[in-house]
Amino acid sequence: MAEVGIGTLYRHFPTRDALIEAVYRQETDTLIDAAAQLMMEREPVAALREWLLLFVDFLDTKKGMAEALSTLIRGPDPSTAELRPASPLLSRL
């Protein structure tokens, strides 16, 4: 794992929500890409089975992130809204 300084982290992800969104988006894209790849490499039933196992792993890793992900959906806590910008994800809803 690469060591990244806090300044570099904040330049790329100015808020906690921005970091969470980027990680979630990357992992979702990986899951989507896996579906396309599996469809080309496997028989339909085998591809579906393998993708579902990947999806279960994906969901398992997200169960601890429920509260953090909910801030992306609901928006920031009103008491701290002035401290951080709204998530770009919310502007697309």
> Tens digits of per-residue pLDDT, 57-77?
988 887 777 676 666 666 655
Q: What is the pLDDT of residues 31-41, one digit of tens each?
A: 999 999 999 99
User: Is the Cα dihedral 78, 92, 29, 18 positive or negative?
Assistant: negative
Identity of residue 18: A
Comparison of pLDDT for 84 and 55, the residue scoring more: 55
Residue 67 CB burial class (10 angstroms; 0-12, 13-18, ≥19)? exposed
Question: Domain range for residue 43?
Answer: 15-72
Residue 85 has pLDDT above 50, yes or no: no
Sign for the pseudo-dihedral over CA of 28, 73, 13, 6: negative
Instruction: Report phi then psi at 84, rounded to 5.
Output: -145, 145
Q: How many domains does the chain have?
A: 1
The answer as to whether 45 is a domain residue is: yes
